[in-house]
Amino acid sequence: MARVFSGVQPTGNIHIGNYLGALKQFVELQDENQCIYCIVDMHSITVPQDPKELKDHILDVAALYMAVGIDPEKSIVFVQSDVAQHAELAWVLMCNSYTGELSRMTQFKAKNKGRESAPAGLFTYPILMAADILLYDADIVPVGNDQKQHIELTRDVAIRVNNKYGETFVVPDGRFLKAGARIMALDDPGDKMSKSAENKHSRVSLLDDDNKIKKSIMKATTDSDGIIRFDPENKPGISNLLNIYSAFSGKTIDDIVKDFEGCGYGDFKKELVNIVQTGIAPIRERYEDIRNSDELIRTLKDGAERAGAIAEKTMKRVKDNFGLGL
């Protein structure tokens, strides 16, 4: 059985990009693998958070994990800050990574745009992510395409440590889906769909009601030539919508294009509204029940205990190999 690890930040507005790029894979993988899914709250404080909102968002994401189909009987689900070894290992890895490689991370560059000085945690964010993954000897890391560079860095650091200190870490592979790996913003298909974008119609969130889903999709930016064709370069808007259609329906893009031959964008969007509404409704319904149950916190505490037992073993191996402690 392969070991799978991934994480999502506890910020609001989990959207269909997060779902199609990451969460959907989490569910698919849990039958055949040993899966560990984390709510990475320590990553989220790399930018300022309201403490009360953060606590709520941790439980929101945990409930969404279960609502999309993650089964805590099969997978370990826990909150990152409940297992202290994440921060402990991050320090060791920081001592084995370079400011040069961290400066090249495009996510850091994007988040730090226009500032002269950045919070050090924003800069070292990818190392905490590497620690998350390496702590659990993960073989596979299901994520969206935007995380490719961070996975490469994780591999580089793992290989570097193994070469210097002897076999310490499993070198992980990223797992990226074809149809959902990079969902673009509905209002600007040049940008990825994002939790933090100001315009709420730039995304469809998993907890949006039918009305909001309809509004956001019908408003989505397309182009003026009116032909439904997959061409991300020249027709990014309609290509993004085709991608979303394909990911929710399971149909290939070629088949969808054939089905809509001769139709206008309006007809296509109406059908897409239908498909997305149908895909999301059961998640939203399950979410309400789970979010309000007492079971949720018990599940996370149990998950932290199980994760902590694995993390402790890895940290012992790391300390032994590095000559740390007594």
Asked if residue 310 lies in contact with residue 135, where contact means CB atoms within 8 angstroms, the answer is yes
Q: Which residues from 95-114 bind ligand LTN, rule CB under 6 A?
A: none
Nearest distance from residue 9's CB to ligand LTN, in Å? 6
Q: Which stretch binds ligand LTN (CB under 6 A): 57-65, 139-147, 211-219, 257-265?
A: 139-147
Closest CA to 6 of 170, 153, 167, 172: 172
Look-up: residue for tokens 């500032």?
115
Q: What is the dihedral of CA 2, 101, 232, 269, to 10 degrees?
A: 70
Instruction: Based on the shown chain and the rule CB under 6 A, indicate whether residue 133 belongs to the binding site for ligand LTN.
Output: yes
Choice between 83 and 183, CB closer to ligand ATP: 183
Of ligand ATP, ligand LTN, none, which one sits near residue 132, judging by CB under 5 to 8 A according to partner kind?
ligand LTN
Q: What is the dihedral of CA 151, 207, 267, 239, to 10 degrees?
A: -10
Q: Which residues from 19-48 bind ligand LTN, rule CB under 6 A?
A: 40, 43
Choice between 154 and 168, CB closer to ligand ATP: 154
Asked if residue 64 lies in contact with residue 12, where contact means CB atoms within 8 angstroms, the answer is no
| Side chain identity, residue 205 | S
Instruction: Based on the shown chain and the rule CB under 6 A, indicate whether residue 214 belongs to the binding site for ligand ATP.
Output: no
Q: Which of 72, 126, 144, 189 binds ligand ATP (CB under 6 A)?
A: 144
Of ligand ATP, ligand LTN, none, which one sits near residue 101, judging by CB under 5 to 8 A according to partner kind?
none
Active site residue 195: yes
Instruction: Based on the shown chain and the rule CB under 6 A, indicate whether residue 188 belongs to the binding site for ligand ATP.
Output: no
Instruction: Based on the shown chain and the rule CB under 6 A, indicate whether residue 175 belongs to the binding site for ligand ATP.
Output: no
What is the per-residue binding string for ligand ATP in 30-69, x denoting contact by CB under 6 A? ----------------------------------------
Choice between 142 and 237, CB closer to ligand LTN: 142
Instruction: Based on the shown chain and the rule CB under 6 A, indicate whether residue 141 belongs to the binding site for ligand LTN.
Output: yes
Of ligand ATP, ligand LTN, none, which one sits near residue 133, judging by CB under 5 to 8 A according to partner kind?
ligand LTN
Q: Which stretch binds ligand ATP (CB under 6 A): 26-34, 142-150, 151-159, 223-231?
A: 142-150
Instruction: Based on the shown chain and the rule CB under 6 A, indicate whether residue 7 belongs to the binding site for ligand LTN.
Output: yes
Active site residue 178: no
Choice between 147 and 299, CB closer to ligand LTN: 147
Asked if residue 241 lies in contact with residue 222, where contact means CB atoms within 8 angstroms, the answer is yes
Q: Which of 56, 88, 101, 146 binds ligand ATP (CB under 6 A)?
A: 146
**Rounded to the nearest 5°, which phi and psi values hold at 77?**
-125, 125
Enumerate binding residues for ligand LTN (CB under 6 A). 5-7, 9, 40, 43, 129, 132-133, 141, 143, 147, 150
The residue ranges that bind ligand ATP (CB under 6 A) are 8-9, 17-18, 21-22, 143-144, 146-147, 180-183, 192-196
